[in-house]
Amino acid sequence: MTIVRLGFVAMSMELKNSSPSQTMTFSQFEKITDREGAIRKLERIALSNLGNCHRLLKHNVANGISFFRFSSKLIPLANHEALQGWDFLSPLKEELKNLGNYIQKHNLRVDFHPDHFVVLNSPKKEILIASLKTLKLHADLLRGMGIDLGQRCVMHVGGSYKDKMGALERFISNWGHVPSFIQTMIMLENDDKSFHLRDTLYLCEKLGIPLVFDYHHHIANFEEKNWVQDWDRVVNTWSTSQLPIKMHISSPKSDKEFRSHADYIDVQMFLKFLNEINGSVPQIDCMIEAKQKDRALFQLMKELKGNTSLEIIDGASFRLK
């Protein structure tokens, strides 16, 4: 019997006016003649984003959802080269602390998925440096919340650069330049085009990184169809983590746009996966990557009710029989 806990990504479709990704572009920043005033405006936007994160978490707790991915766009222009020296964390200390206290009070699991430009296997030194700077920002936000850094940032392996094996080996080489506190945060995810499950397992096993299995990506990446025989290897990558194993679930938008995420989750596709892994782990946290966010989670739970192969625990979790 395995407990399954569902989560969703960053924004709510049900909670109005709650975006945690409000922003200001650099061109908008430049148009404000008072630089200090412009910086204060950036800080107000960041505080509003964090306040909306708090609202989102309260919404989740009210609906039995204990797994959530934060937006990686909480602080606009945080690492922009033109704003070097801006101490953006100091004005956020109280709000971050309050957010962290709420997370710990309700025993919530939270994490990040840095944007696609955060790449650790780039052949360009400047991209690696910029990626590490962005990951440090995520670490600083987690520290501000008082959240343990372990397994809080899921990433793709990166680009293949027309030489997949070379790109895998460069990831290993670059890993030596990654500070240990950032290494602690990282989880790696198989992708839908370049690095399939066994490619990602190669890195995770070699470097001691937990693997987040993306079922939809795996199906889309036809280089490696059979995943069940490698499931124990996936589970073993989590052996030193204090958190339950994590996976991503989404469904194809259409046959023509197979790699794109649908609005909702195909319940039969999800149950097919769960039937294969039932009993292999005591708990699995499944992050829903669907366009309809929490609405997709609620719809999935609605469709699961009455299914005799499982027992509903609360609004976002159930036990497989």
Alpha-carbon distance 63 to 315, whole Å?
6
For the chain, give the number of residues: 321
Residue 212 per-residue DSSP state: E
Span 43-70, mean pLDDT?
A: 98
Model pLDDT, residue 224: 60
194 and 164 Cβ atoms separated by less than 8 Å: yes
Dihedral sign of CA atoms 294, 296, 302, 304 in order: negative
Alpha-carbon distance 63 to 300, whole Å?
14
Options 3.20.20.150, 3.40.50.1370, 3.30.420.40, 3.30.1330.20; CATH for 3-17+110-320 is 3.20.20.150
pLDDT digits (tens, 9 = 90+) for 268-319: 999 999 999 999 999 999 999 999 999 999 999 999 998 999 999 999 999 9
The counts of H helices and E strands in the chain are 11, 10
Alpha-carbon distance 285 to 211, whole Å?
13
Q: How far is CA 200 from CA 151, 191, 208, 219, 318, in A?
A: 16, 9, 12, 15, 29
Span 126-132, mean pLDDT?
A: 96
Dihedral sign of CA atoms 34, 39, 43, 46 in order: positive
Model pLDDT, residue 306: 87
Span 100-106, mean pLDDT?
A: 98
77 and 15 Cβ atoms separated by less than 8 Å: no
pLDDT digits (tens, 9 = 90+) for 74-102: 999 999 999 989 999 999 999 999 999 99
120 and 174 Cβ atoms separated by less than 8 Å: yes
3-state secondary structure 283-319: EEEEEECCCCHHHHHHHHHHHHCCCCCEEEEECCEEE
For residue 186, the SS3 value is: strand
Question: Mean pLDDT across the chain, nearest whole number?
Answer: 95
